[in-house]
Amino acid sequence: MTKRKAFRTAFTVLVTLVLLVLLWEGYKWMGQQTDDHWPGTQFGLPVSTNDLTMPHSGDIFNELTEEIRAGRETLPLTVYLAKKAAFTFLEAAIGFSLGVIVGLMLAIFMLRWRFAERGFLPWINVSQTVPLIALAPIVVTWARLQGYPDMVGISLIATYLTFFPVAVSGLRGLQSPDSSDIELMHSYAASWSSTLIKLRLPAARPFLFPAFKLAATLSVVGAIVGEISIGTKTGLGRAILDFSMRYAVWPERLYSSVIAASLLGLFVFGLVNAAEWLVIKRGREVLK
Amino acid sequence: MKKNRLASVLPPVIVGIVGLALWEGTVTVFGIREILLPKPSSIWAQLFEKWSVLRHATWETGKISVSGLLVGIFLGVLMALIANRFKVLNDGFTPLAIAINATPIVALAPIFNAWFGITGTFSNQAVVIAVVFFPVFINTAKGLNEVHPNEIELMQSYAASEWTILREVRIPNALPFFANSLRLAAPLSVIAAIVAEYFGGPQDRIGTVITSSAGFAKYDVAWAAIAMASGLGLLLFGSALVTERLSMPWRISGDIKDN
Amino acid sequence: MRDNSEALEEAVSVESADKVFNSGSDNEVQALLGIDLNVKEGDFISLIGPSGCGKSTLLRLIADLLSPTAGEVKVFGKTANQARLDQDYGMVFQHSGLFDWRDVSANIELPLELKGWSKADRHVRSREMLKLVRLEEFKDYYPRQLSGGMQQRVSIARALSFEPRLLLMDEPFGALDEMTREHMQVELLRIWRETGTTVVFVTHSIPEAAFLSSKVVVLSPRPGRIHSEITVNLGNRTDETREDPEFFQATTEVREALRAVEAN
């Protein structure tokens, strides 16, 4: 039943992807015929269709196996991008882990003291309106002054983007148990901390996982943008920046690197989904 | 009522003042260098000194964020309504949108530059539109879809048309979801506008002010620019909250029911 | 035969207890006024009354989940607070309140875990409890996989797992269908007889109160007061008892008391 549904979803998504590729190629073909005008009119197309602006999807795909010079060695673009992605993944993973720890601690802190909730929650909301991305150059200067590698600064930026959804959803999840559940723990004369561990934290899981998913995506965004804004020597963000500068020569490479970034985002998202399945959903089908 | 409002405003104000005082105090007492962390008072001073530059830069970035935000919201809601009407589209596009939303959309900035050129601001606006579109679309589509079957059955028992069901059941149901996505998208639009700047476009905007001041070791100016950008984000976030209140008067907190 | 009433200990004694909610504000509510209630060990007491009469509030005073505004609540001769700290009672709510993420055994073992029992001991006890409520083969199921009646039986097993001398039940069968409900009543009486636990049972069902109780306490609303106490003696009850004239008489008595309450 669910298997069939999953199969159907995969199928529709695949068809949609194929349609998008066809749309891309169709638009390109049409533009080539009409010299970048809407057919039969004088109106120009919004995006021109030459091979520089819109390379053939096949060419982007082929480029992946092409060799690229990286320092002294040459290696296929796929391997090159995978190496960069691994570095970015590490930064994102550190940022994510720190963000989850900080977010959960804040949530528990606000749960414990009502004044803390009232006093801090508005500021936590405000914190997200501070474009920390803009702080990136400063954060990294700071990290360099302390003698830390750039990775530390970048991970901190990822942490900043990550802690917010965890703190906010975490608090909501910790506050989610029914009053009768709280009364039950109270009737056992359970301490605050055992109520937290036995009741509130497990009950918060359905709230936390969507937050983790958002946080995972944001940690990748933070890592890539951090790399771009501070000019590290490696990482996927660096690759995107490099290729965007040499766009006139190899447009396919920019597309490949952006696709690699998307795949990294999806990979991290998939990891959190898998963790969710392991922790919550496994073996919980309703029988009746 | 009045007492309640005070109780909700006072704690954040106290935390804010104590926080600022701690910041100022720590920097002064421990003699922390401006490079690491300037004092709030010197940032404040720079806000006045560099006001005309900062105001112009914030205005330029603000135009891109707000226009991109509005267009992104419009397209997101429109697409959600269309997807709700045609099941095939919903099945095919929604999972894809969720997947795309899990990717770093800002990385599209250089591609948009290639498409739309780097002389104007449209490439940057396009990044903001893309960043805003996906969360708005996903959440609104979810709200339109996840309606309690009983409510649909009730409407069908009144022989209501699809259009009436949309207006009376689906849209009200989707409003909280939409509002949530707005709260998420509003600050994101500022971040996206600043990130897009790193890849090109006119250089008289807030992100450039931050990077160039940081480059010249004028950290207090950089922080003043960050404060301006935060103000912009806060303004958009606040507008999202106000919109939420106005569109859903029935969800204003402080309900009457007791125990 | 000797008179037992003197020898038996008082399980619960409530003396001129008042409860006021939102004291001093515009929506102040006098929930309970001058409540006197005595429950002897081994008794099965029902609290019944129209909605808003404060029967659940009274139960929560006994459980020390709420404190009285005035008056005194004693459980087994101690303050209600001490009784809660000593875990002298188990509680069952209307909604089973089982934790979705724990299977049936783990739910029953929750209070034992909090008391620091060893895993082996917990295991032995949860087995016994599952046997008591006749759910042995469902020990590995999750609450959502069970029917409402089964969930409520798990909830009772959880409340009894640490062998409290008092069982407090807040409309435990209120969400069940009539058939299941009658079945659960017979089961509860069996468990009550087997364990000898004292029960205080909140309900809004007249036949339920009459069928289960040795004494029905009728409360009147706004403010909540004890209107009358009706002693019932149906002896050894089975499903057939529901067709006995004595049962009919008991329900009539309770119903008339409630009508008198409504008339006020």
Distances from the Cα of B60 to the Cαs of A228, B188, B205, B206, C23, in angstroms? Answer: 22, 17, 6, 8, 55
Return phi, psi of residue C219, to 5°.
-105, 150
CA-closest candidate to residue A120, choices B234, B184, B237, B16? B16
Total residues found in chain B within this entry: 259
In this structure, are C23 and C154 located in the same domain? no
The contacts found for B50-54 with CB under 8 angstroms, 24 or more apart, are B50/B221, B50/B224, B53/B209, B54/B206, B54/B209, B54/B224, B54/B225, B54/B228
Q: Is the peptide bond before C223 cis (omega within 30 degrees of 0)?
A: yes
Over 80: is that where the pLDDT of B237 sits?
yes
Task: Output DSSP code: residue A280.
Answer: I
Average pLDDT over residues B67-82: 94
Interface residue of A178, A184, A288 to substitute, partner C, most C CBs within 10 Å: A184
Domains of chain B are: 51-258 (1.10.3720.10)
Q: Which two tokens stand for residue B185?
A: 């998208």
In this structure, are C170 and C74 located in the same domain? yes
pLDDT at A281: 66
Question: Which residue numbers of C have CB closer than 8 Å to A's CBs?
Answer: 60, 63, 65, 84-85, 87, 89-91, 93-95, 97, 99, 101-102, 110-111, 113-114, 141-142, 144-145, 147, 168
**Quick one: pLDDT band at residue A121, thresholds 50, 70, 90?**
confident
pLDDT at B253: 43
Query: Of C130, C163, C196, which residue sits at a domain end?
Result: C163
In this structure, are C171 and C252 located in the same domain? yes
CA-closest candidate to residue A220, choices A96, A132, A130? A96
Is residue C118 in some structural domain? yes
Cβ within 8 Å, pair B106-A225: yes
Return phi, psi of residue A155, to 5°.
-60, -35
Query: Of C117, C140, C163, which residue sits at a domain end?
Result: C163
B69 DSSP β-pair partners: none
Is residue C110 in some structural domain? yes
In this structure, are C74 and C159 located in the same domain? no
CA nearest to C107 within chain A:
A198
pLDDT in tens, B47-65: 888 888 899 999 999 999 9
Interface residue of A47, A129, A148 to substitute, partner B, most B CBs within 10 Å: A129
CB C236 within 8 A of CB C71: no
Cβ within 8 Å, pair C114-A188: yes
CA distance A196 to chain B (A): 23
Over 70: is that where the pLDDT of B145 sits?
yes
pLDDT at B131: 92
In this structure, are C228 and C252 located in the same domain? yes
**Quick one: pLDDT band at residue A7, thresholds 50, 70, 90?**
confident
**Quick one: pLDDT band at residue A69, thresholds 50, 70, 90?**
confident
Between CA C210 and CA C214 the distance in angstroms is: 8
In this structure, are C18 and C130 located in the same domain? no
Total residues found in chain C within this entry: 264
Between CA B90 and CA B137 the distance in angstroms is: 11
CB C175 within 8 A of CB C96: no
Q: Which two tokens stand for residue A269?
A: 């998202």
CA-closest candidate to residue A79, choices A92, A60, A93, A66? A66
CA distance B161 to chain A (A): 28
Is residue C214 in some structural domain? yes
As a whole-number percent, the residues of chain C with pLDDT over 90 amount to 14
Average pLDDT over residues B219-223: 85
* Of A14-28, A220-234, C3-17, minimum mean pLDDT range: C3-17
Is residue C155 in some structural domain? yes
CA distance B103 to chain A (A): 4
Return phi, psi of residue B184, to 5°.
-75, -45
Cβ within 8 Å, pair B259-C27: no
Three-state secondary structure call for residue B178: helix
Task: Output DSSP code: residue C9.
Answer: P
Greatest C-alpha distance within chain A: 80
Is residue C3 in some structural domain? no
Say how many C-beta atoms besides its own lie within 10 A of residue B133's C-beta: 25
Over 90: is that where the pLDDT of B238 sits?
no
Between CA C30 and CA C51 the distance in angstroms is: 14
DSSP state string for C114-179: HTT--HHHHHHHHHHHHHHTT-GGGTT--GGGS-HHHHHHHHHHHHHTT--SEEEEESTTTTS-HH
In this structure, are C41 and C137 located in the same domain? no
In this structure, are C171 and C73 located in the same domain? yes
Total domains in chain C come to 2
pLDDT at B108: 84
Over 80: is that where the pLDDT of C123 sits?
yes
In this structure, are C209 and C148 located in the same domain? no
Is residue C5 in some structural domain? no
pLDDT at B78: 94
Is residue C182 in some structural domain? yes
Whole-structure pTM value:
0.80
Q: Which residues of chain B neighbour C29 with C-beta distances below 8 Å?
A: 258
Cβ within 8 Å, pair A199-C141: no
Provide the pairing of β-strand A67-70 with A73-76: antiparallel
Is residue C93 in some structural domain? no
Distance from chain centroid for Cα B154: 36
What CATH number is associated with residue C242?
3.40.50.300
Q: What chains are in contact with C, requiring at least 3 Cβ pairs below 8 Å?
A: A, B
Over 60: is that where the pLDDT of B257 sits?
no
pLDDT in tens, B197-214: 877 777 788 888 888 887
The parent domain of residue C228 ranges over: 10-88+165-263
Cβ within 8 Å, pair B115-A47: yes
Between CA B91 and CA B102 the distance in angstroms is: 18
Q: What chains are in contact with A, requiring at least 3 Cβ pairs below 8 Å?
A: B, C
In this structure, are C73 and C29 located in the same domain? yes
Provide the pairing of β-strand C10-21 with C70-75: antiparallel
In this structure, are C120 and C132 located in the same domain? yes
CA-closest candidate to residue C155, choices C208, C212, C111? C111
Q: Which residues of chain B neighbour C22 with C-beta distances below 8 Å?
A: 258
Query: Of C113, C136, C163, which residue sits at a domain end?
Result: C163
Over 50: is that where the pLDDT of B259 sits?
no
**Matching residue, tokens 């006098």:** C30
Please state at what angle helix A201-230 crosses helix B171-198, rounded to 10 degrees.
30
Over 60: is that where the pLDDT of C138 sits?
yes
Distance from chain centroid for Cα C19: 20
pLDDT in tens, A163-172: 988 998 899 8
In this structure, are C183 and C237 located in the same domain? yes
pLDDT in tens, A181-209: 888 898 888 889 999 999 999 889 888 99
CA-closest candidate to residue A139, choices A126, A123, A152, A125? A152
CB A107 within 8 A of CB A171: yes
pLDDT at C7: 47
